[in-house]
A and B are shown apart, each in its own frame.
Chain A
């Protein structure tokens, strides 16, 4: 066996790959990728020359959230890493290159493209969907081609198949298999607009995770969503149908017609390569591994769904991650043996909470169960306890997973049960003993994806971490499946409080309120000045640079009085006061509004003339406008009076407010466009210009799904469809990119604007100070579903009010620069010196690439010497 030379000089070793032992990884799925992450974390990628083969054309992606692919997410956003992740870490990644054979004697793998030697080999080949052998006539066979649900390519095939169906009244799709993946597949069919059916051989849904009553409750909830369920049906043959394309005949004489069939009848370990090269394989498949994840060949490891440990395979991602950690450890000399894994799962299937913990079926000898059945709401909960009644050993949840975290901790950590164990599953709010963070032992696993214990979290807090984002980044907790988010927050806040660190949400020392609370006060009491608010609800004399601009923003969002009015001026940041963006040397940049990025040649010339006259540096912005840099304070009114004469308005680039609506040219010019995206961008920009908000707002409108305007990276993104507009919300570029989420589909123009009205006003009403929509959305209790309820279904009865408030702001709009230029009193402020007409002599520009730029300190020093000498 080859052992990597741990003491190798890594700096030279990375250069000469030939000298390093060769590690080949077959498979770039979630587990295979996790192995790479662990190797990099332990610096092992520098001690091996690592080569990875992925059969699919996509790099590792999040298979757990695959169904979101039909919900607006694309392959890129499902990816687990950036495109250059392997490159940057010196790992050779071969995608779309299947390994066809392993030669153990020659220590060689053969792929569709070549041969590669290895010293150590890891099989992370996953599993494949089991397609039951059902007699099918030739013509049916060809056209339905055994659709399955596992990879992105499978999903593309399902979509193609659905789209190829003629648009008749009901298009029907059947999923064979009512397990976890089958339910996901049914959801996918539903998203594609098909009438979805599930055909299951067992007498209940999710037979592995749920018991009879749980399965029944789940069935009722799912049927209420319009998915038809057929249980205890064994398909005996598929023949041509009459009303639909196929007819499935069942063993009991019943039959069902359908237009397409997706098989999701379980998975089988992908062990073909291992089998063919003579590694030991289990009776029912699976590559046999020991506690170090080694196969019968000690230089070959197997991890994830293809591996068989103690006669068990693991069809979940968390055990696969544990195996990946074990292998990374073995390769670096710190092997932690694999000792099995917890198969508890918490899922949301078709919007229904399902949880299964430990011994859900009470298979343990003498186990006793408590059950709670809610026939009205189709909810079900079961707690399984040990024969002596002391320990919880399993649980089943359908309809409400808020019990999951507590139950899981009881089961995993053997915590003593309360006197009445049933209280753990009874409806909460009746004194049910919620397991607080302090009741968890230090060893309790909080995040099972990344194996983060409570003590690791405590240590990080002890080390000074005091915000949740940093905690997640440092420990990786809650960055896998995200299932532990609520528990992590609870433990984190408990640890902070225990250390006497108050979770203080006061805006600043002047207001013991959040921005949201101040917004409510200003609205309810109709306050129109900072002084009134400070006198009634604050403390201190003047306020500060935190609360003053925040309150100014709220006042503007509510009443939209001109920010140049004397009582509002002292509240503003310099940018808002002087309606320009201050740069590092104290000069300002000027950005006229160019709605939708559409500009006439005359206006372009006018901007050019102004820039030339005042010697301004010009740059095209990301928001399709032109930024003019280097204006001194006293030059701003002259510059703006020329711009306004040329027909421009202020662009609010200086405000926490609507910035731009980026657009592509749309169907006016583009061969692919399906709507007039520029016209819609103009409508949106002209409607919301001047709107002040907790942070800046960026919009975009794309004329087709090619998305040239990059709407999915904006706070509000609009993408044209054949039938109208799809609305995406809460995206962000910048430091923490976030894909916008699909919010509503195929809206007409009016509904689109009303929806955006409501969305923006609700954000303005509830967000924290300087909180972009993306962060606001991530912190919103209830998430996207809640937001949809409030905005689309008007669950709070706020819709009309939000629209009216927006209309008020729209009606009040006035170009702030036009307003200021009319008033000599306001213009008095735009003087560099109140008693002298000179410019600021310390502002010195030099020329670079034929444009001015601020001189650097050393250049200023040199210029000074030249002047004096």
Chain B
């Protein structure tokens, strides 16, 4: 039972889960058409982290480079490239050098929440998913909902 398509207005969206499924300052994982999406909710969206720099969108493999929303929601692939295990959603969320990050619980590498970039390995980057809160729903924007 994957997300159900809902279409408020013109843009198609996929409902992933409800607001109550989220855990403040931590992560959960949603299933979406064979993908595992780790979703993090930061209770107080920190002011110092501004909009994502535009250059992020130029990186191949990251079609949606601005997953940040005013809701404090972030979504990354759940698969940890270093161990191959699906565990990113169970990592500790924190900030390093002003960047919001999640630490893999297996070998402790850090991934930027805003673009999935691994701080320890420049060639490793997690896919980002554009998500938003709509009422009580956590939704995935339509382009991503179509899958790749």
Give the interface of A toward B (CB within 8 A): 509, 540-545, 548-549, 566, 569-575, 577-578, 582, 584-586, 633, 828-829, 831-838, 840, 842-843, 857
Contact = CB atoms under 8 A, between A and B. Distances in A.
A836 B17 CA distance: 10
A541 B48 contact: yes
B97 A835 contact: no
A543 B17 contact: no
A835 B1 contact: yes
A857 B85 CA distance: 11
Contacts of A828: 20-21
Contact of A578 (B17, B85, B90): B90
Contact of A834 (B29, B42, B46): B29
A-B CB proximity, top 4 nearest:
A544-B94, A586-B85, A545-B103, A836-B31
Given A582-B106, A828-B21, A577 B85 contact: no
Contact of A509 (B23, B29, B96): B96
A570 B85 contact: no
A303 to B, nearest CB: 49
A832 B90 contact: no
Nearest to B32: A835
A229 B97 CA distance: 66
B29 A832 contact: yes
Interface of B: 1-3, 16-17, 20-21, 23-26, 28-31, 36, 42, 46, 48, 79, 83-87, 90-98, 100-101, 103, 105-106, 108, 110
Nearest to A547: B94
A570 B93 contact: yes
Given A545-B94, A842-B85, A857-B84, 6 more contacts: A544-B95, A569-B23, A570-B24, A570-B93, A574-B90, A835-B3
Nearest to B85: A586
B105 A835 contact: no
Contacts of B17: 834-835
Given A542-B95, A543-B94, A585-B85, A831 B28 contact: yes
A544 B92 contact: yes
Contacts of A829: 23, 28
Contacts of B16: 835
B25 A840 contact: no
B135 to A, nearest CB: 16
B100 A542 contact: yes
B31 A835 contact: yes
Given A835-B3, A857-B84, A544 B28 contact: no
Contacts, number: 107
Nearest to B102: A545
Nearest to B4: A835
27 contacts: A509-B97, A540-B95, A540-B98, A541-B46, A543-B95, A544-B94, A545-B92, A545-B94, A548-B92, A549-B92, A569-B26, A570-B26, A574-B87, A577-B26, A582-B90, A584-B83, A584-B85, A831-B28, A832-B29, A833-B31, A834-B21, A834-B30, A835-B1, A836-B30, A840-B36, A840-B86, A842-B85
Nearest to B23: A829
A573 B106 contact: no
A835 B28 CA distance: 10
Nearest to B94: A544
Contacts of B1: 835-837
Given A833-B29, A834-B28, A541 B23 contact: no
A43 B95 CA distance: 51
A542 B36 contact: no
B2 A836 contact: yes
A840 to B, nearest CB: 5
A842 B106 contact: no
Given A509-B97, A842-B86, A574 B91 contact: yes
Contacts of A566: 24
B105 to A, nearest CB: 4
Contacts of A545: 91-92, 94, 103, 108, 110
A755 to B, nearest CB: 36
Contacts of A586: 83, 85-87, 106
Contacts of B31: 833, 835-836, 838
Nearest to A540: B95
A543 B86 CA distance: 24
A358 to B, nearest CB: 53
A832 B85 CA distance: 13
Contacts of B86: 586, 840, 842-843
A540 to B, nearest CB: 5
A584 to B, nearest CB: 6
A637 to B, nearest CB: 15
Nearest to B100: A542
A566 B25 CA distance: 10
Contacts of B93: 542, 570
Contacts of A842: 79, 84-86
A557 to B, nearest CB: 19
Contacts of A837: 1
A585 B94 CA distance: 23
A828 B103 CA distance: 22
A578 B79 CA distance: 18
A682 B93 CA distance: 38
Contacts of B94: 542-545, 548
Contacts of A833: 29-31, 36
A582 B87 contact: yes
A570 B25 contact: yes
Nearest to B98: A540
A573 B2 CA distance: 29
B83 A570 contact: no
Contacts of A857: 84
Nearest to B80: A586
Contacts of B20: 828
B120 to A, nearest CB: 13
A174 B87 CA distance: 69
A549 B21 CA distance: 23
A351 B122 CA distance: 57
Contacts of A574: 87, 90-92, 105
A780 to B, nearest CB: 28
Contacts of A835: 1-3, 16-17, 21, 30-31
